[in-house]
A and B are shown apart, each in its own frame.
Chain A
Amino acid sequence: MSQDQIDILKRALEREKKARKAAEKILEEKSRELYFTSQKLENLLDEKSSQLEGVFENIVDAYVVMDIQGDIIKFNEAATRLFGYDIGRDNVNVKDLVFKDDHEYAMASFMQLHTQGFFKDYEARIYTKSKEVKWVHINASVVYDKDKKPIAAQGIVRDITAERASEEKLIESENRLATLVLNLDSGIILEDENRNIVLTNKKFCELFNIDAEPSDLFGMDCTDASEQNKLLFKNPEAFIQRMDEIDSAKKVVIGDELEMVDGKILERNYMPITIGKKSKGFLWTFTDVTLKRTYRKSLEVQKQKYYSIIANMHLGLVEVNNHDEILMINHSFSEMSGYSEEELLGKKAGEIFPIEGGSEIIAIENEKRKNGESNSYEIKIETKQGEVRYWLISGAPNYDINGHVVGSIGVHLDITNLKALELQKEKLLLKLEKSNDELQEYAHIVSHDLKSPLRSIDALVSWLKEDNKGKLDATSLKNFELIEATLEKMEQLISDVLDYSSVGTDTTVKADVDLNKMLQDLTTILYIPDHIKITALQQLPIIKGDATKLQQLFQNLISNAVKFIDKEKGSITIDFEDLKSHYKFSIQDNGIGIEKQFHDKIFKIFHALNKSKDSTGIGLSIVKKIVDLHEGQIWLESQPNIGTTFYFTLKK
């Protein structure tokens, strides 16, 4: 190898050595530089991450970091406050926090987090540690490592419970308002500047016979709609004209009345709605006032009717207040009393008119009115002309709207004529009673005066017989006997007439009469021959009546039956039947019977069918009179030679 070659190689090596040294030096410099830079970067990173941490720690909203399994790794202070968990002690998984009803929504949001790496504006409810429910708003994103692998998720959680509540309240009150508007009893239309419908309600549709939901009308043009609706009104052109007028004036109009073809009356109001200086539209309201109008009209008619009744009735009407001061009288009262309305207004009714204690009566009655009582009473009064009249007053309390007694109203009827009749009737009754008494007395005196001579004749006859004992022939003795028999009959006749006249005049009090006992008494008093048997088929009732007269009734009928029994074995059967208001008695005998033609006659006085020694013909007349007195009837069924049944009814 040549020197040259060696030299060349030596030089080349030298150059290489030098170059490597320079490179080493550069490398050394560079690595030093790099070291410093990385030092610097590390510091910067530290600085930044602590800076970031501070930001998260210190933000107002809650900051939450969880790992991929959903276990919470980190809560900032706000999060700790919000959820109530101390992350240093408690193990919390996100599933524990989701409100049960929001579970599905939460899962969907987690899916989104997985697929897209984030979700935004999640709004749902969560449980706190104390199981309180809160509304939260969450934005969340996934945290990746340097290999783009997800390692955690972080989220900002904002407590929106309060916001949410007021929002709900707002919605609720909006709903309420909307429902109110929808169901308002007035039809309303809110239109905008261009007369397009913004809002309307059911009542409007109903009033204008529109077969649609209110919401269907939103946006419609009112001008067009009115052209169709005008036909509903009695005067369509006027309706449109007036509407246009109102629309162009854009001023408040209240109380326009529209008459509809079907007789309805609508009241129309119009008002522009402005908030601040901004127009919010124009509000038309329509209210059905038909009832109100017709009510007022019929009220007027009624009032007129009653007014004319009050004015024209023949009863005096007086209204007084609680102090008995006259507030109102009608024309009839003015005529009745003789005073004009002016003379009476404000005067005390109880002081002007009554006489003979009437003022006290009125004072008592007025007290009753204050207690709400109403009734009628009579008083004696004096008119302005000094005439004494009787009034029947029917008084009733007068109430105000609140139900307080404010006085009374009295209806007055002049009963002077009636009263006079009544007094006359009382007088007549007294007179009648007296003359009845006198008649009764008279009957007694007459019967006494008639009976006395009979006694005398009888005494004289018996003395004649006594004094001429043995001197009288048979014929004379027979004639004396006839005189005595005639006297007896005369005596009986007088007694019967007196009895007959006594029935119905004596006003004895009615009492309970036990007919069984009475019948028993009778069988001992009456002469009943041995061949006649008296039987009562059942226990007789106890009835209200005059004991003496009832006894006389049974006595006459039984003794009649006894008298006319011609059979060997006589029977008298007494029975009764309980009718509704009366008892029906029957007294049956097996005597000679009475022919049909005499059935009515026998009850007439002095109609004895058999002229016998002991029959005066008055007995059955007395019976009839007693039955009449007990509001009953008497009749008979009879077959000649077989027997007779007398029936009679007595009021219970």
Chain B
Amino acid sequence: MKTLNILLIEDDMIEVMKLNRAISSLQLHHKITEANNGEEALKLLEHKDSLPDIILLDLNMPKISGLEFLKILKADDRLKYIPTIILTTSNNQRDLLECYKIGIAGYVLKPLKYEDYVSKIEKLLSYWSINELITV
């Protein structure tokens, strides 16, 4: 199984901890890069030689919101190829519609239960591990 370079864009510290802990408890060896907000993420993405394989994006963030970040990403000729999966608590139909319109690779609702969360993350990452990805 491929190890993935994952960019996690999340402002909530505990959410970051959740993902890290889930990955380690699942004994996966994906590399996780953290960005606390969209701006930080964009900065990281300037290093074109070390682009992530996939992006996990929270919608509800200060400064640049997830949607705005997504728009910027999809407008960029190189970055638009990075599969971006939304990881959010919002099941707002409008958000879903908007995200799919702009272009996303998945939309995952954060469940209440941590065990459920771990199970969802396991499936998500195993799916992307078996996918062929491109590097532009």
A462 is an interface residue with CB less than 8 A from chain B:
yes
Quick one: which of A456, A463, A488 contacts B12, CB cutoff 8 A? A456
A431 is an interface residue with CB less than 8 A from chain B:
no
* Cβ of A525 to closest chain B Cβ, rounded Å: 15
* Cβ of B80 to closest chain A Cβ, rounded Å: 26
Are B112 and A487 in contact, CB atoms less than 8 angstroms apart?
Answer: yes
**Interface stretch of the complex, out of B13-21, B27-35, B36-44, B68-76:** B13-21
Asked whether A459 and B89 contact (CB < 8 A) given A445-B60, A449-B60, A488-B112, the answer is: no
Q: How far is the CA of A320 from the CA of B19 in the complex (A)?
A: 82
B129 is an interface residue with CB less than 8 A from chain A:
no
Q: Which parts of B33-72 form the interface with A (CB within 8 Å)? A: 60
Instruction: Name the residue of chain A whose CB is nearest to the CB of B25.
Output: A466
B113 is an interface residue with CB less than 8 A from chain A:
yes
- Encode contact with B along A447-484: 1 for CB under 8 Å, 0 otherwise: 11101101110111111000000000000000000001
Residues of A within 8 A of B90 (CB): 444, 447-448
Asked whether A456 and B60 contact (CB < 8 A) given A444-B95, A448-B88, A462-B114, the answer is: no
Main secondary structure of the interface of A (DSSP, over half): helix
Residues of A within 8 A of B93 (CB): 506
A267 is an interface residue with CB less than 8 A from chain B:
no
Q: How far is the CA of A452 from the CA of B18 in the complex (A)?
A: 12
A491 is an interface residue with CB less than 8 A from chain B:
yes
Are B89 and A451 in contact, CB atoms less than 8 angstroms apart?
Answer: yes
Q: Which parts of B83-129 form the interface with A (CB within 8 Å)? A: 88-90, 92-95, 110-115, 117
Instruction: Name the residue of chain B whose CB is nearest to the CB of A488.
Output: B112
* Cβ of A346 to closest chain B Cβ, rounded Å: 61
Q: How far is the CA of A463 from the CA of B17 in the complex (A)?
A: 11
Count how many chain B residues have C-beta atoms less than 8 Å from C-beta atoms of the other chain: 21
Residues of B within 8 A of A452 (CB): 12, 15, 60, 89, 110
Q: How far is the CA of A491 from the CA of B92 in the complex (A)?
A: 15
Residues of A within 8 A of B89 (CB): 447-448, 451-452, 455
* Cβ of A505 to closest chain B Cβ, rounded Å: 11
* Cβ of A499 to closest chain B Cβ, rounded Å: 10
Residues of B within 8 A of A463 (CB): 21, 114
Residues of A within 8 A of B88 (CB): 448
Q: How far is the CA of A445 from the CA of B65 in the complex (A)?
A: 12
Q: How far is the CA of A233 from the CA of B117 in the complex (A)?
A: 115
Instruction: Name the residue of chain B whose CB is nearest to the CB of A463.
Output: B21
Quick one: which of A444, A449, A451, A460 contacts B14, CB cutoff 8 A? A460
Residues of B within 8 A of A448 (CB): 60, 88-90
- Encode contact with B along A418-449: 1 for CB under 8 Å, 0 otherwise: 00000000000000000000000100110111
Instruction: Name the residue of chain B whose CB is nearest to the CB of A508.
Output: B93
Residues of B within 8 A of A445 (CB): 60
Asked whether A444 and B92 contact (CB < 8 A) given A455-B117, A459-B14, the answer is: yes
* Cβ of A460 to closest chain B Cβ, rounded Å: 7
Q: How far is the CA of A177 from the CA of B17 in the complex (A)?
A: 125
Residues of B within 8 A of A487 (CB): 112
* Cβ of B31 to closest chain A Cβ, rounded Å: 22
Quick one: which of A441, A456, A484 contacts B15, CB cutoff 8 A? A456
* Cβ of A433 to closest chain B Cβ, rounded Å: 14
Residues of A within 8 A of B112 (CB): 451, 454-455, 458, 487-488, 491
Are B92 and A462 in contact, CB atoms less than 8 angstroms apart?
Answer: no
Are B92 and A459 in contact, CB atoms less than 8 angstroms apart?
Answer: no
- Max chain A Cβ within 10 angstroms of own Cβ: one of B95, B113, B114: B114
Residues of B within 8 A of A455 (CB): 14-15, 18, 89, 110-112, 114, 117
Q: How far is the CA of A488 from the CA of B94 in the complex (A)?
A: 25
Residues of A within 8 A of B17 (CB): 459
Residues of A within 8 A of B18 (CB): 455-456, 459
* Cβ of A19 to closest chain B Cβ, rounded Å: 183
Instruction: Name the residue of chain A whose CB is nearest to the CB of B93.
Output: A506
Residues of B within 8 A of A444 (CB): 90, 92, 94-95
Residues of B within 8 A of A451 (CB): 89, 112
Instruction: Name the residue of chain B whose CB is nearest to the CB of A491.
Output: B112
Q: How far is the CA of A80 from the CA of B24 in the complex (A)?
A: 151
Quick one: which of A447, A449, A459, A491 contacts B114, CB cutoff 8 A? A459
Q: Which parts of A625-644 form the interface with B (CB within 8 Å)? A: none
* Cβ of B120 to closest chain A Cβ, rounded Å: 12
Instruction: Name the residue of chain B whose CB is nearest to the CB of A465.
Output: B114
* Cβ of B8 to closest chain A Cβ, rounded Å: 15
* Cβ of B112 to closest chain A Cβ, rounded Å: 5
Q: How far is the CA of A90 from the CA of B101 in the complex (A)?
A: 121
* Cβ of A98 to closest chain B Cβ, rounded Å: 114
* Cβ of A272 to closest chain B Cβ, rounded Å: 105
Q: How far is the CA of A448 from the CA of B61 in the complex (A)?
A: 11
Q: How far is the CA of A199 from the CA of B119 in the complex (A)?
A: 126
Residues of B within 8 A of A460 (CB): 14
Residues of A within 8 A of B113 (CB): 458, 462, 484
- Max chain A Cβ within 10 angstroms of own Cβ: one of B60, B111, B112: B112
Q: How far is the CA of A491 from the CA of B111 in the complex (A)?
A: 10
* Cβ of B107 to closest chain A Cβ, rounded Å: 14
Are A456 and B95 in contact, CB atoms less than 8 angstroms apart?
Answer: no
Residues of A within 8 A of B110 (CB): 452, 455
Q: Which parts of A127-172 form the interface with B (CB within 8 Å)? A: none
Instruction: Name the residue of chain B whose CB is nearest to the CB of A466.
Output: B25
Are A456 and B92 in contact, CB atoms less than 8 angstroms apart?
Answer: no
Residues of B within 8 A of A456 (CB): 12, 14-15, 18
* Cβ of B123 to closest chain A Cβ, rounded Å: 18
- Encode contact with B along A163-187: 1 for CB under 8 Å, 0 otherwise: 0000000000000000000000000
Quick one: which of A459, A461, A488 contacts B117, CB cutoff 8 A? A459
Are B60 and A458 in contact, CB atoms less than 8 angstroms apart?
Answer: no
Q: How far is the CA of A445 from the CA of B62 in the complex (A)?
A: 12
* Cβ of B63 to closest chain A Cβ, rounded Å: 15
Q: How far is the CA of A451 from the CA of B91 in the complex (A)?
A: 11
Residues of B within 8 A of A458 (CB): 112-114
Residues of B within 8 A of A459 (CB): 14, 17-18, 21, 114, 117
Contacts A451-B112, A462-B115 known; list 13 others, CB within 8 Å: A441-B94, A445-B60, A448-B60, A451-B89, A455-B15, A455-B89, A456-B15, A459-B18, A461-B114, A462-B114, A463-B21, A488-B112, A506-B93
Mark A residues whose CB is within 8 Å of B.
Answer: 441, 444-445, 447-449, 451-452, 454-456, 458-463, 484, 487-488, 491, 506
Would you list the 10 A-B pairs with minimal beta carbon distance, nearest first? A456-B14, A462-B114, A444-B92, A459-B114, A451-B89, A491-B112, A448-B90, A448-B89, A459-B18, A448-B60
Contact sample, A vs B, 10 pairs, CB 8 Å cutoff: A455-B14, A455-B15, A455-B110, A456-B14, A456-B18, A458-B114, A459-B21, A463-B21, A463-B114, A491-B112
